[in-house]
A and B are shown apart, each in its own frame.
Chain A
Amino acid sequence: MKKSDKMFPYLLLAPSALVILFVLIAPLGYSVYCSLYQCTYMRFTKFVGLDNFIKVLTNSDYLKAFGRTFYISAVSLVIALVLAVMFALWINKYSGIVAYAIQLLVLIPWVTSQVVGTLLWKWIFSEDLGVLNYLVKQVGLAPLKVLSDPKTAVGVLIFVMTWRIIGYAMVQILAGLKSIPKSVEEAAIIDGAGKWQLLRFVRLPMIKTPLLISTIILTLSNINNLTVPLSLTGGGPGTATNVITISVYRLGFENYQFGTSSALSIVLFVVTLALSIGYVKAVKYEV
């Protein structure tokens, strides 16, 4: 009896652990294996040890791309989270079908095909033929430079990435807010808590888990996002929006250098894993 009790948690975890090990970790192991070779066209021609990693980590283009990736992802994340909390608090005041419909609508960007959504934005932003500049011209202003200017292109990329993730964060946070028992909020109000205090000392702590989950998911989702930057700007103009996933993509699908591309994607994985662990530690999430 006792022994079976001891084994019980392992029994519970075994299937999940096997699935994760087999489908996620083992291919990673295979990528590690590729990264140690000169592996053009998936042919293991020469064992090169850590050369691929050295090559990747000493290449200033890739380092800059990492920098850009973090900057763009972080800005987009912060904007998304702040707005998501604001909107969640706002919708939380309402109930019934309207609030529910709004939630559904807000979630649409997250569930629409990423590439189609991005291409539609690109179409709307098209400098000569897009709806945006058409409206701008109708108002009598000079058409805007959108994606052909390096500075605004970064802004637009951040905008589209934020647009995509905000609904997800909002729905998560809203679910968290709704799960706060009315009695707790009422008690706080009776204790004389103002709006801000209610938010800061009651609500925010209570939605820590959804916030943490959204933060991790959206951070990783932003950093690993290939579709949006590739379809929206293709890394341009110049190198303004050349994020790291575009480099990985080019190394693999255009140049077929899978050794180097594996090395780069492993570096990317290690960084994102470190970030996730960092988040978990920062909020002292306990297991």
Chain B
Amino acid sequence: MKKLNQMKSLKKMKKLAAFILALAMTVVMAGCGGGNQGNDDKADDGGKKEGGEKKELLVWTFLNPNDESGRGYVLGKAKELYESQHEGVTVRIESLEWDTMTAKFFAATQTGEAPDVIWVNGLNLGEAIQLGVVEPFENLFMKDWTDEQFQDLDDVRFEYGATDDAHYQLHLSTNVYGIVYRADLFKQFEIDPNFESWDDLIAAAQKLTYVNEDGMQVYGLGVGYSEKSADSNYLRAQLFTQYGDVVDENGQANWNGDVGQAALQMQIDMIDKYGITPQSAVSATSEEMYADFIAGKYAMVFGGSVRIPTIKSQCAYDPDSVKLMAYPSSNGKEGKGLAAGWNVCVYSGSEMKEEAGEFIETLCCPEIDKLWVEEGGQIPLLKSTVDACSEFLSSPDNEYLKTAMEMLENNAVAYNSEYVISGYVTDLVKAMQLAYVEGKSVEEALDTTAKEFNERNGN
């Protein structure tokens, strides 16, 4: 009897599920049909706009153009400048959450809602190029550029995703990775920051691991290994130093070789053997690492230049003591770090590609570049800006910018962007989690994540 009932209700449920699904599918089909129509409508709208009033250039970024200072402020200024030079075009800047923006952009290219200008994270540029959603600048404003103009902009950042005859992006908010350190503590312990090798750095970090006058345990070298938001670490530094990239010439993960194994072992030793990194680093995000550095817990951290202004504005110790240095050299190779950042691109499906290109041209014109430096605390895009801002750059407050510029010239690498590399940062820290927390061997941990990376990205 009971069973019968159950059977009956099961049948009913099945019927019901089938019905709901069928209904849903109908709506979806209708939706997809409507979607295509939607695209056409939008195209029509565009046409109308051209005929009638002002055209609107849509920009997706994570900066807020209404900010009263900083990068957002500069973006707002660029908008003003552009609009004053392009009558008939208004720039609409929408600031999105940075961590979901790229996924949203990729989805929006399918539905006709994608913006004309998009900020693409350095990690995702390779994908964007492969998907064909970004337009080479050579088809737009750069076709008229002179050699001088190219040379003024040309450095490692400009090479992101570039081929011989195609540049896809303008690199903003450049973040040069290295070691962020406290010069006051170095002075106190009489340590010379010009390390010859990682051994020197580790020896210094051991000295700098002490209990300070507030009773706080200070550690020599800070890092965050949480998979939530991982960033730089020794393993990544070694990959860039030794290989200049995170994939080999076939697009396969390069961290499961000798270099990776030695580096991962070293990361473990930094906690267990040298004691310069606290064990709590396995649960710390890069965000918390910076917060801890501000609180005074670390003498050095694996950090990026872009964070230094925030650290300076929030720390309780002397802000001028926060400095940046390049990674020490190892195995006879000069230490190399990533020059990360955001790539401003033109959406290839945009109906206003020319205008979009011109907006990007505005973003890197001398006038705005000066503002990027002086208001946005950014490394100059143009070599000519260095002179224009010489006074600003020579003030002790901005010493870190000078260091970052030097590092950009001598120690920085860019992703090759020929291959998809998304998720590699998480893979690197996952290897650390597997080896340090889950007790896997260093080889196995690296092999596991390298395999996952290769399968996922299918290079």
Contact = CB atoms under 8 A, between A and B. Distances in A.
Q: Consider the complex of A and B and state whether they touch directly, i.e. have CB atoms less than 8 Å apart.
A: yes
B127 A236 contact: no
Interface stretch (B17-25, B84-92, B161-169, B308-316): B17-25
Contacts of B229: 234
B317 interface: no
Contacts of B37: none
A201 interface: no
Interface in A110-131: 122, 126-129
Interface stretch (A19-27, A166-174, A180-188): A19-27
A205 to B, nearest CB: 24
Interface stretch (A6-14, A189-197, A209-217, A246-254): A246-254
Contact of B103 (A122, A126, A148, A256): A256
A149 to B, nearest CB: 9
Contact of B31 (A30, A127, A236): A30
Give the one of A22, A128, A231 with max B CB within 10 A.
A128
Nearest to A29: B24
B279 A145 contact: yes
Contact of A148 (B227, B282, B423, B456): B282
B127 A256 contact: yes
Interface residues of B, number: 43
A76 interface: no
Contact of A235 (B27, B103, B227, B292): B227
Interface in A13-55: 21-22, 25-26, 28-30, 32-33, 41-43
A176 interface: no
A29 B438 contact: no
Contact of A41 (B20, B127, B226, B227): B127
B24 A25 contact: yes
Interface string A211-239: 00000000000000000001101111111
A153 interface: yes
Contacts of A155: none
A13 B217 CA distance: 64
Nearest to A252: B103
B455 to A, nearest CB: 10
Contacts of B437: 150, 236-238, 240
B433 A32 contact: no
Nearest to B456: A255
A145 B271 CA distance: 15
Contacts of B217: 128
Given A254-B423, A256-B103, A41 B280 contact: no
Given A29-B21, A41-B106, A255-B456, A237 B292 contact: no
Given A21-B23, A26-B27, A252-B103, A129 B434 contact: no
Contacts of B171: none
A147 interface: yes
B99 interface: yes
B278 interface: yes
A257 interface: yes
A126 B295 CA distance: 12
Nearest to B437: A238
B157 interface: no
Given A21-B27, A28-B24, A42-B107, A235 B228 contact: yes
Contacts of B23: 21, 25, 29
Contact of B278 (A28, A41, A128): A128
A129 to B, nearest CB: 5
B57 to A, nearest CB: 24
A126 B280 contact: yes
A43 B110 contact: yes
B24 A32 contact: yes
Contacts of A21: 23-24, 27
B446 to A, nearest CB: 15
Contacts of B434: 238
A33 B28 contact: yes
Given A237-B433, A254-B423, A128 B438 contact: no
Contacts of A237: 282-283, 433, 437
B433 A239 contact: yes
A254 B422 contact: yes
B288 interface: yes
Contact of A127 (B110, B131, B215, B280): B280
Given A26-B28, A26-B31, A236-B437, A148 B280 contact: yes
A270 B225 CA distance: 34
A218 B228 CA distance: 24
Nearest to A240: B437
Contacts of A231: 228
B293 to A, nearest CB: 11
Interface of A: 21-22, 25-26, 28-30, 32-33, 41-43, 122, 126-129, 137, 145, 147-148, 150, 153, 230-231, 233-240, 250, 252-257
19 contacts: A25-B23, A26-B31, A29-B21, A29-B25, A126-B292, A127-B280, A128-B216, A129-B295, A153-B283, A233-B283, A234-B226, A239-B438, A240-B437, A250-B423, A250-B426, A255-B422, A255-B456, A256-B127, A256-B422
* Ranked 10 nearest A-B pairs via Cβ: A234-B228, A29-B24, A238-B437, A26-B27, A147-B283, A127-B280, A238-B438, A42-B107, A41-B106, A29-B28
